[in-house]
Amino acid sequence: MTRLLFISQLGEPGRSYDPAIWCRAPGGDDETRWFEACLEATGLRHRIAYTGLHACRGEALPEDVAAIDAVVIGGSFASVADRHPWQRAIAAWLPRWRATGRPLFGICGGHQLVSDTYGGAVGRIAAGPEIGTLPLTLTAAGRGHYLMQGFEDGDRFHFGNFDQVERAPAGATVLAVRPTMAHAALDHGGGWITTQFHPESTADIMASGWLQTRPDWMPRYHPLARCHLMIRNFLTGSGAVAA
């Protein structure tokens, strides 16, 4: 069994967001449950010993990194510029995980936090926020990468971000871009992959995030049949789960 840790940094319930907006989602506003549902959809859940951890709610990151085989860091309502205590805690823990040589997948805010921690730069998108189910363009490196197996130029993924990685960390390889986003997906080496978009999420969960603040953005999200297969690609391609 692959021991997989999902680190939620969604935000603080009642402060970052109103939990009621996800009253119909599996587990309510529990992002760790959403990711577990994604694992079920990939067909790999029965091969994974899954742990969900709410860093944004004050839960401590594990001391025993040897007891973990793979890590996924979720997205966040917070900007990396906020430097919340739980963001600083994750950033301080990342070098310990990096030293294990084991894989990591960072999503949206996780993409930005990893990039920021390792020398990249994160800033506001000059053209305005990327909101909705939007097409992606693969780079030459991306087309041959295990993460993108089964995907092609123009395939759509869920976005919901005001910030982006403006400068990638040294040595990172760009796998995908958008017209206003030069680093939509990165391979950081050593089995570390990050994406600005949400391959793990659903249109309903993404749209509900704007229910109270920007309900006019909700129709920009559309159901996707295959985006979760990118999570499967990560797990098998990185060696976290045997193909």
Task: Provide the token pair at 26.
Answer: 């599996």
Q: What is the pLDDT of residues 147-206, one digit of tens each?
A: 999 999 999 999 999 999 999 999 999 999 999 999 999 999 999 999 999 999 999 999
Contacts of 153 (CB under 8 A, 6+ apart): 135, 136, 137, 138
Please state the domain extents for the chain: 2-237
Q: CA torsion sign, 33 to 116 to 161 to 42?
A: negative
Q: CATH homologous superfamily for 2-237? A: Class I glutamine amidotransferase (GATase) domain (3.40.50.880)
Rounded Cα distance between 120 and 167, Å, is 5
Nearest to 107 by CA among 62, 157, 33: 157
Rounded Cα distance between 148 and 196, Å, is 14
> Which residues of the chain fall below pLDDT 70?
none
Residue 20 DSSP SS3: helix
* Whether the model pTM is above 0.95: yes
Asked if 164 and 122 touch (Cβ cutoff 8 Å), the reply is yes
